[in-house]
Chain A
Amino acid sequence: MAVTTQAQPILNALPTVSGRAGLGGTLRSEFTKIRSVRSTYWTLLVLLVVSVGIGAAISAGTAANWSRMSPASQASFDPTQASVAGLFYLGQLVIVVLGAMTLTAEYSTGMIRTSLTAMPRRAVVYAAKAIVFAVVALVVTFVAAFISFFLGQALLSSTHDTATLSQPNVLRAVVGSALYVTMCGLFAFAVGAMLRHTAGAITSVIGVLFVIPILVHLLPQSWYQDIVRWLPDAAGRALSVTVGPPPPNLFSAWNQYAVFAIYTAILLVVGAVLFRKRDA
């Protein structure tokens, strides 16, 4: 029995502190949370494998078929875009799951009640979660982007049509793929904060990032041309193109990214307001 006598205090005294609990401690706490569950490692491993693997498969396939490709196809081939396509198209799917679950997993497990009892200042909890997720996502997507790029160029070497980082727009496309995918994750984080439900959040974000762009294609051409630059996923296409003219109907690459960033910022603010206002 742990407690039988009164002679000894139950707990050892703690060192005294001043100030108040704030963002620093909660950032450490959120980092402990994200690194201490296996699902984080599985998700990030899947992100790396899928991103690098798909990029490598596209690059290897192109190299194998290079001699059979028409000169026009060869001229329009974008070796940078091909090498990071896995990260762009499938990496964002994976990061959307991780981003959404950063908050929704706390609701599905009930952990949110424990978290908000430990740190009742909700804006601090929300900010710490978003920051830790964004940093982890940035690191992993940068690693995935550069591995994908260099592996892709190595596999394409037989075509003698490979890219280097010093060529125009190539570094932008590689870095941009990481930044775009990270933004997708933050977008999903915010939707998760609003819906507080994993499946609902993931479905909604995939709807916005994948399904709406397809549906918009079905609109009359003139409408499509006006609307397409206002879609969040347009940032990905604008950033990734390094060969030939920039994609039609879009803003310049970084401005197109800013459109996506503004959407994400708005959702993050709405998510924060709801997170603070609602009963946990």
Chain B
Amino acid sequence: MIEVRGLVKRYGDKIAVNDLSFDVEPGHVTGFLGPNGAGKTTTMRLILGLDYPDAGAAKIHGKRYAGLAYPMREVGALIDAKAVHGGRSAYNHLLCLAQTNNLPKRRVGEVLELVGLTEVARKRAKGFSLGMSQRLGIAGTLLGDPAVLMFDEPVNGLDPEGILWIRNLMKALAAEGRTVFVSSHLMSEMENTADHLIVIGRGSLLADCTMEEFIARSSGQTVRVRTPQLDLLSKAVSETVPEATTAGTAAVRPTATTEADGSLTVHGLTAAQIGDLAFDHGVRLHELTVVRASLEAAFMELTADSVEYRAGQEQPVPVSGGVV
């Protein structure tokens, strides 16, 4: 359990983290999303006490990180996989970490085995690929069998096999009841891993919800309809009284827009509701397709105003409709 309350961090004039509050619960993989420069790494550094906040506090199990009796037994954190002394072997790197928290020496061999680095345990970290460094970093986080795990962009530079491995590991760790907090600037990396999302932009909280809520909230969810009785169906849709939604989002009055190609785009109703509606009004349907914007598009739409670095002039983000 990580609790972040009113966290503020300034670097000179620039606000890196702006009054950020959220909880990270155990038993889930919580994705920490935001564009590059949104403040994800800074937030993690503040949680770990590597940087000091200008206001607010971050607590783990109710305590500041530096106040934990055996920090590595409660939190395993990987901020930067390359933050190792290149001249030290993988084994000695992990050993010097384990010793600070009085962890048994045999543990080093166990975590090396777990991440698949046993064969290169005596090799100096200097020669490690980014993927091997990430595995070494992850091995370090597991030394203390911690209940809370934090990974900053852990799949950067990994090959597909490595990405799959990390995803499965994170899910398995969460399934054991651990708190897993993992940052990324790509929604696609979180889509199949995270149960919960915390989205930030320019240091401020943009969304704190479950993955389902995020999908439901994304404005890209529409239904495309083709019918010879366009006017009749449009009228029927716009006269439909919206039902209260379960996710707590505001009930939206359904709308129907006629597209240039003669199809009708319906917002606010499911395909089933439209089919029933058409049946009730005796409208013949030629096509009924759910068009779901990808999560990536929804994420980009949410963070569009808070992207720190953008190439060239601003351009509207194209919402590519994926057909489900």
Contacts and interface: CB of A to CB of B under 8 A. Distances in A.
Contacts of B48: 116-117, 120
A33 interface: yes
Interface string B142-173: 10110000000000000000000100110011
Interface string B3-30: 0000000000000000000000000000
Contacts of A4: 168
Contact of A110 (B73, B80, B87, B145): B80
Contacts of A25: 99-102
A13 B145 CA distance: 7
A218 interface: no
Given A36-B88, A120-B49, A120-B66, A114 B172 contact: no
Contact of B83 (A1, A26, A105, A114): A114
B85 interface: yes
Contact of A109 (B70, B86, B92, B168): B86
Contacts of B114: 2, 10-11
A2 B176 contact: no
Interface in B69-95: 69-73, 77, 79-80, 82-89, 92, 95
Contacts of A215: none
Contacts of A217: none
B242 interface: no
Interface in B14-69: 45, 48-52, 65-66, 68-69
A118 B72 contact: yes
Contacts, number: 139
B69 A120 contact: no
A15 interface: yes
B85 A105 contact: yes
A20 B92 contact: no
Contact of B96 (A13, A36, A280): A36
A44 B72 CA distance: 33
A33 B80 CA distance: 19
Interface residues of B, number: 52
Interface string B95-124: 111011111100100110011100000000
B50 A279 contact: yes
B89 A36 contact: yes
A119 B140 CA distance: 13
Given A2-B114, A26-B100, A113-B79, A38 B87 contact: yes
A29 B88 CA distance: 13
Contact of B84 (A14, A19, A26, A109): A109
Contacts of A12: 110, 145
A3 interface: yes
A9 interface: yes
A33 B95 CA distance: 9
A12 B103 CA distance: 12
A9 B142 CA distance: 12
15 contacts: A10-B142, A11-B110, A13-B145, A14-B104, A20-B69, A21-B101, A25-B100, A26-B99, A29-B99, A105-B85, A109-B83, A113-B83, A114-B84, A114-B97, A280-B45
Interface of A: 1-4, 6, 9-15, 17, 19-21, 24-26, 28-30, 32-33, 36-39, 105-106, 109-122, 277, 279-280
Q: Sorted from nearest, which 7 A-B pairs have the closest CB atoms?
A: A110-B83, A36-B92, A20-B69, A29-B99, A120-B66, A279-B51, A32-B96
